[in-house]
Amino acid sequence: MSSVLYDVPGPRARRRNRLLTALCTLALLAVGLYVYRRFDARGHWDAAKWQPFGTAGLWRDFIIPGLVQTLSAAAAGMVLALAFGVVFAVARLSDRWWLRVPAGAAVEFCRAVPLLLMIFFVFYGLPFVIEAPVPAFWAVVTGLTLYNGSVLAEAFRAGINAVPRGQSEAAYAIGMRKGQVLRYVLVPQAARAMLPVIVSQLVVLLKDTALGYIIAYPELLERGVNEVAANHGNVVAAALVAGALYICVNGGLTLFAGWLERRTRRSGRTTARPVRVPDAPTAAV
């Protein structure tokens, strides 16, 4: 393995690396044993704490419904956030100042305000204003849309700006209108270039559905951890199981993104080289 940091190891370096490997393995095992013993001392490996996860009822009544609620909030949030992102990115690139300036202000505002603050405002504050209760689902989805949509808007804008000028000039030259240039030339190339950022932002969105727990939206954390632990007194086990579920779902989404990226790179429908974004914005955690 040769990298910017190391040369290909010689015999002495290989010997040293083997020694280090042995020492680090021992150290990690010691830490692992300490954690295991600490769990054991408080009885967190007891069969009674883990038994419920082997029963179909627990999955049917708590975990699966929670996961479904999590995924439906995430799906609604993803669709709306992508739409919000495209609309505000295009508005921010508009030639008309009365469109560009408010769109820019809205994006900057939504990006700087914590998601939880928006969810609290929609869930606790808005009912005073509109004099009707706001369902927890829509409070979560509104927050997710505004926050992640504004982050996506910035990503799209960076992507559109990075498309070589010749592309839009050629499109104008063959008589396309501004909307057509955006729709057929700029947005598709920008979306492809920004795909990694878009997907990592969608993972962020999926994780953020867990904020729904705070306003008692019955998603995975509320149903699969809070309610399960209330029934069985196994909060550590329940949190570990829910964590594993989140990791599986997000890992799946990331794998899907990798596949999608390879696929789009392979398709040879265009002779244009892929757009490179100079300072690509990273997903906002």
Partner 1 sequence: MHVFSDPANRAVYLSSFLLILKLTGAAGVIALVFGVVLAAMRVSPVPVLRGFGTAWVNVFRNTPLTLIIFFCYFGLFVNLGVTYSDDDIDLNNFWLGVTGLAAYTAAFVCETVRSGINTVPAGQADAARALGMTFGQTLRLVVLPQATRSVVAPFGSILIALAKNATIVGTIGVLESASVMRQLINDNGDAVIPIFLVFAGTFVALLVPTGYLFGWLAKRLAVRR
Question: Which is closer to partner 1, CB of 100 or CB of 207?
Answer: 207
Q: Are residues 156 and 85 in contact, defined by beta-carbon separation less than 8 angstroms? A: yes
Instruction: Give the per-residue contact string, 84-123, with partner 1 (x = CB under 8 A; - = no).
Output: ------------------------xx--xxxxxxx-xx--
Residues 6 or more apart from 84 whose CB is under 8 A from it? 145, 146, 149, 150, 152, 153
Q: For partner 1, which residue of 64, 71, 87, 236 counts as binding (CB under 8 A)?
A: 236
Residue 226: CB minimum distance to partner 1, A: 8
CA distance 121 to 91: 26
Residue 82: CB minimum distance to partner 1, A: 20
Examine residue 242 and tell whether it contacts partner 1 (CB under 8 A): yes
DSSP 277: -
Examine residue 47 and tell whether it contacts partner 1 (CB under 8 A): no
Task: Report the C-alpha dihedral over residues 123, 146, 200, 153, rounded to 10 degrees.
Answer: 180
Question: Which is closer to partner 1, CB of 193 or CB of 212?
Answer: 212
Examine residue 207 and tell whether it contacts partner 1 (CB under 8 A): yes
Structural tokens at position 259: 């596949």
Residue 200: CB minimum distance to partner 1, A: 9
Q: Are residues 29 and 37 in contact, defined by beta-carbon separation less than 8 angstroms? A: no
Question: Which is closer to partner 1, CB of 33 or CB of 247?
Answer: 247
